[in-house]
Every structure is written in structure tokens, then in C-alpha cells.
Structure 1
């Protein structure tokens, strides 16, 4: 573990540092609270062992600052207090400390506290990892591996706010696999799932790093194109439709004989400041127009 020790008493600081290093941990040392806070921000230690009374930021203030800043990773805090000072112990725990050690410091006692700290910080790290995995799963379509509508809602809200603030354009392209119901009827749902994965991979392969590709539902996909004009989005989607045709996925239920894609594009501009839901509606209406015009084509929202 990475352990930060903060104490303005040089002798106590030396003892604590030696105990930490003998326990096999990396030690950072600070002679006052302000230095301790700076080291904490720079190194994000797993454990902080801090004296109560120090120049600058005292131990209680340091505890509160650490707890206010923490997100997923947890810092285990041990407060150093005077012998028999029960009020200090309670105040330290209320400020966010996990444990305490009385002074003069006993290296064995600190070693024991560090063993507990290792267990607790490992547990918190595991929980943070599982939370991250679950969060990713909740925002990922299990069939295609694309982001799903929950992630789309979050990303689109941020993009829309940024575009309004900085007067930037963006486009939405709603895509739909043509005659997909008949494809499933003819070739089966397993083949349909494989086809959706191939289409998804093709769309991702055409997208810029800044673009987002989402499974909107069923055989529908949505492509989000930041800093893109409607004409630029049309060129992008024409190229994407070409790539889907080049997959040469046989579809005897489609007039083209191949699996194809239709798309409708809407645009957010300074002259057309609709909210995100309205833009989705416009893209969907343009997609409907592409279907009505014969499929396998791109239509722009007017």
C-alpha cells in the first residue's frame, strides 16, 4: 500500500515512517497538514496516518477534506491522538477517521492497524471494480456490444448542452435494417443476431473517434455525429450504407437480394435549436421517409 504519514513531531514522524516501511509499504511523510494535503492530492495514498494537532491544516480538517473529495477509491485514515483523550477519538471518528492510535506511537500497534487497513482498502477496491463493471453492463447492449439507450440518453444530454453553450452543430442519424422481420423469418433469429452484429461492427468501423454508435432497439441504430453538418452527415451515412452492402449478407426477402440499411438524419444548428428529443423525432421521421422512398437510402430532415 501507499501510506501517507503526517506529524509535526520529527521523532514521532520518524517512528511512524520506520514502522510503515518495516510493514512492507511505501511511505510518504509530511511535517504539517498543508504538506499532507498536497501529497494526498498528488499521490492518492491508500492510507493516511495523521496527527491531530499540526500547523496549517489540522488532522480533523485533513480527514474532512479527504472524505469530501473521495469518489470510488477509499482512503483508510488512522488518527494519532494523545493518551486517554476520549474526546479527541470521538471527534476524529466523526470527522471521517476509521481508527486511532494513541501517542507515544507503538510500532506494533501501527503495524496491526495497517493490516486492517489493507483488508478494508482491498475490499473497497473490489467493490469499486464491480460497480464499474455493473455500470458498464447497464449501458451496453449485450448482443452487439454497442452502447444502449441509457448511455445514449446520458451522452446526448452532455453533447446537447455543450453544443448550445459553444454554438456547435451536431447531427443524429437514425438507421434501420431493411426488411429485417422477413430476414428473421427466412434465415432464423440466430442468423438475424449475427447480421445485427455485423452491421454494428460496420457502423463502428466508419465512425470517427468522437462519434457515438448506439443500438436504439430491435434492428435500429443511432449514430451521433458531434461537430458535423447535415451534409457531412449525409456523406458519412452514404458511405456507411455502402459498407453494409459490401458485407454481401444474402437476403432473398429484399428486392436488392442483400441486407441493406436505411437512414434518416436530423441536425442541431444555431438556426435550428431543437431539444434532443425533438431531434430524435426528426431523425425518425426522416428514416420513415427513406423507407417510404424505397429503402436502402439516406434522407435528411427538412
Structure 2
């Protein structure tokens, strides 16, 4: 583990550092609270062993600062003190310390605290990993691997707020696989799933790194195109539709004999500063117009 020891007494600091390193841990040493805070920010140690009374930031203030800043990974804090009263112990724990050790420091006691710290920090690291995995799964469509409606809602809210604040434009492109119900009826749902995966991959392959590609539901996809004009988005989607056509997925129930895509595009501009929900509705209406005009085409919202 990476252990930060903070103590303004040189002798105590030397003993604590030696005890930490004797058990195979990497040790950072600080002579006061301000130096300890700087080292914490620079190195993100697994464990902080800090004296209570120090120049600058004292041990309690250091505990509070660490707890206020922590995100995913947990730092185990041991408070070193010669003040062993119950009130002092409670004050330390309430400030964020996990345990305390009274001075003079016993190396064996330090070893036992570090064993506990290893178990606790390992558990927190595992929990952080599982939270990240679950968060990703909750925002991913299991069939296509694209982002889902939950992730769309989060991303679109952030993009719309930023675009509104900085007067930047963006576009939404609602896409739908043409005659997909008949495709499923003719070729079966397993083939339908493979077709959706292929279309999703084609859209991702066409998109820029800054674009977002989402499965909106069923055979519908949505593309979020930041800093894009409606004309630019139209040209972009024409290329995307052509990319889908080049997949050459046979579809005997379609007039062209292959799987195609239709799209409708709405735009947030300086002249059209409407809400994200209205933009979604406008893109959907444009998609409906593309379907009504014969499918396999792109329509721009008026």
C-alpha cells in the first residue's frame, strides 16, 4: 500500500516511517499538516497516518479535507494522538478518522492497523469497480452495445445546457430501419437482432468521436451531433444511410430488396432555441415525413 505519515515531531515521524516500511509498504512523510495535504493531493495514498496536533492544518482538519474530497477510492485514516480521552477519540472519528493510535507509537500496533486498512481499502476498491460496471450496464443497450435512453437523457441534458449557455448549435438525427417488422416476419427475430447490430456498428463507424449514438428503442436509433449545422447533419446522415445500404442485407419485403434506413433531423440554433424534448419531437416528425415520402431518405425538420 501507499501510506502517508504526517507528524511534526521528527523522532515520532522517523519511528512511524520505519514501522510502515518494515512491513513492505511505500511511505510518504510530511512534517506538518499543509505538507501532508499537498502530498495527499499529489499521490492519493491508500492510508494516511496523521498526528493530531501539527502546525498548519491539524489532524482533524486533514481528516475533514480528505473526506470532503474523496470520490471513488477510499483512504483509510489513522489518527496519532497522545490525547487518549473518549471525547478526543470521538472527535477524531467524527472528523473522518477510521481508527486511532496513542503515542508513543508501538510498531506492532501500527502493523495491526495497516492490516485492517488493507482489508478495508481493498473492499472499497472492489465496490468502486462493481459500481462502475453496474453503472455502465445500466446505460448500455445489451443487444447493440450502444448507449441507451438513460445515457441519452443524461448526455442530452448536459449538451443542451452547454449549447444554450455558449450559443453553440447541435443536431439530433432520429433513424429507423425501414420495414423492419416485415424483416422479422420473413427472416426471424434472430436475424433481426443481427441486422440491428450491423446497423448500429455502421452508425458508430460513421460517427465522429464527439457524436453520440444511442438505441432509442426497437429499430430506432438516435444520433446526437454537437457543433453541427442542420445542412451538415443532413450530409452526414446521407453518408450514414449509404453506409447501411453497403451492408447489402437482403430484405425481400422491401421494394429495394435490401435493408435501408430513414432519418429525420432537427437542429438547435441561435434562431431556434427550443428545449431538448421539442427537438426530439421535431426529429421524430421529420423521420415520419421521410417514411411518408418513400423511406430510405433523410428529411430535415422545418
Alignment TM class, shorter chain as reference? over 0.9
Structure 2 match to 1:29: 29
- 1:13 CA displacement: 0.4
| Structure 2, gaps ≥5 residues long | none
TM-score, normalisation: structure 1 = 0.99
- 1:213 CA displacement: 0.2
Structure 2 match to 1:259: 259
TM-score, normalisation: structure 2 = 0.99
Structure 2 match to 1:150: 150
Structure 2 match to 1:131: 131
The reply to whether residue 14 of structure 1 matches residue 37 of structure 2 is no
Aligned to 1:264, the other structure's residue is in SS state strand
Structure 2 match to 1:110: 110
Structure 1 match to 2:159: 159
CA distance in 1: counterparts of 2:167 and 2:84, whole angstroms = 63
Task: Please give the residue correspondences for 1:1-302 in structure 2 after superposition, counting only pairs within 5 Å.
Answer: 1-82=1-82, 84-302=84-302
CA distance in 2: counterparts of 1:101 and 1:159, whole angstroms = 49
CA distance in 2: counterparts of 1:98 and 1:80, whole angstroms = 11
Runs of 4+ in 1 over 3 A off after TM superposition: none
- 1:83 CA displacement: 5.6
How many corresponding residue pairs? 302
Change (3 A) 1:62 1:83: closer
- 1:243 CA displacement: 0.4
Deviations, residues 135-164 of structure 1 (Å, cap 9, x unaligned): 000000000000000000000000001101
CA distance in 2: counterparts of 1:40 and 1:9, whole angstroms = 19
- 1:87 CA displacement: 2.2
